[in-house]
Amino acid sequence: MIEVLRNSWALLLGVMLLMLGNGMQGTLLGIRGGIEGFTALQMSVVMSAYFLGFLFGSRMTPEMIRRVGHVRVFAALGSLISAVLVMYAVAPDWIAWTLMRVVIGFSFSGVYITAESWLNNASTNENRGQALSAYMIVQMIGIIAAQGLMALGDPSGFILFVIPSVLVSVAFTPILLTVSQAPAFESTKPLSFRRLYDASPLGCVGMFLVGGIFAALWGMASVFGTEAGLTVPQISTFIAAIYLGGLVLQYPIGWASDRMDRRQLIMAMALVAAAAMLVPVFIELPFGLLLGVAMVAGGISNPLYSLLVAYTNDFLDNSDMAAASAGLLFINGLGAVGGPILTGWIMARMGPSGFFLYIAALMVLLAGYAGYRMTRRPPLASDQTGAFAALSPAASSLAVEAALGAAQEGGPQNPGAEADPAAPGLDHDRPTGGPDRG
């Protein structure tokens, strides 16, 4: 780990500053939107726009990098982020914010892809797993610490919009001055969604549902807090609890996933989360217990993302994992685009508790579909499954691919072999698993 920090400290520091800025703007907009009189439905459109931009960015950034190079893409997108963060306060209109959130989402997607390619290039096969673990931890620390910065100013003023803009601008300084050589960028051979679904229906459906859950937690938590009448410090603490739960429970759940049928774990986790989310729907909880609910939400939704990626790769050849990761991230992004809008629509009709009802409904759907899939495919033996890798839903397909590769080196090398008898094009007897390539 010391070698990783010595080689990548500038990049990790820059990523943490980026996450400080990104974490602040997400919380701040939800609070400021309430001050400006925006409705929950209007704010849901604003929050959804980030994920729409992120989705476009994930598809377009690789081509941009191939055309003009990493450094120019990195600097250009960073400048856009810094400018837009200040423009929020200049144009407090929900339609203008929606357009700016598309730009922010697009830019952050490109920045993540560029930073992760640099990190991957700077790592060796021996320390890549440690490097990516440090990267994920730094992301979480940045988001959690960002909530504390909300106490530095008044959300109705200008200063809290300036702080994340400055943080983002400063974030690029150590990266651009320290990294001496930009890595080569190679495109991934695509895997059709049909083949991806044939390989793992639960992985595809689950990623779509988890995208909707994650987007609601990331985009609408501050809107919920504003609608529920929480103070600014309470809203910040509530959001920090969501990410703290994800940080704490990622590894214990990963440990369990390597020792049991992952579908059982997915179903059990989703049911626990659904039950926890329904409590504040029917009972008005004190703030302390509300924080516990937030920790459960984050502590289950983040590991579910990693678990679904690992489960899908159990039925793929190693050579298909990169393409599968890109496909799963796109499916996750589609679910994320609609998540805040549906949450806002429900909150507009039943009040702040609609935030939890929406998450509970998606968790129930996920648990039910996982249970159904258990009747369609026999379980894999633990020695046939691939290794679990702790992943961030905000990571690009490049980071997902590298994390899975690093985890795979330390775990079973052959993914599971059992195919779905109900899925066309799959060979039930193949020893290495995955769709039939013909």
Are residues 62 and 106 both part of a single domain? yes
| Ramachandran sector of residue 230 (left: φ over 0; alpha: ψ -120 to 50; beta: rest) | beta
Question: Whole-prediction pTM value?
Answer: 0.82
* Domain-ending residue, one of 157, 186, 215: 186
- DSSP symbols for 367-424: HHHHHHHHTTSPPPPGGGSPPP----TT--HHHHHHHHHHHHHTS-SS------TTST
**pLDDT tens digits, one per residue of 160-208:** 999 999 998 888 887 777 655 555 555 556 677 888 888 889 989 999 9
Residue 4: what pLDDT?
58
Domain boundary among 171, 186, 201: 186
What range defines the domain where residue 26 resides? 1-186
Name the burial class of residue 318, with classes exposed (0-12), middle (13-18) and buried (19+) by CB atoms within 10 angstroms of its CB.
Answer: middle
Residue 295 pLDDT exceeds 90? yes
The last residue of one of the domains, among 186, 211, 233, is 186
pLDDT 10s digits, 353-389: 999 999 999 999 999 999 999 888 887 666 556 666 5
Q: Which residues contact 3 (CB under 8 A, 6 or more apart)?
A: 127
- Please tell me whether residues 319 and 262 are part of one structural domain: yes
Query: Using CA atoms, how far apart are residues 423 and 438, in angstroms rounded to an integer?
Result: 15
pLDDT (tens digit, 9 = 90+) per residue, 130-167? 677 777 788 888 888 999 898 888 998 899 999 999 99
- Please check whether residues 182 and 197 belong to one and the same domain: no
Max CA-CA distance within the chain?
64
**pLDDT confidence tier of residue 129, bands split at 50, 70 and 90:** low
Q: For residue 435, what are the β-bridge partners? A: 426
Looking at the structure, tell me whether residues 244 and 367 fall in a common domain: yes
Q: Which of these ranges, 74-78, 205-209, 232-236, has the smallest mean pLDDT?
A: 74-78
CATH number at residue 377: 1.20.1250.20
Residue 375's contacts (CB-CB under 8 Å, 6 or more residues apart) are: none
- Res. 399: pLDDT tops 90: no
| Tokens matching residue 355 | 């935030």
- Say if residue 81 is in the same domain as residue 210: no
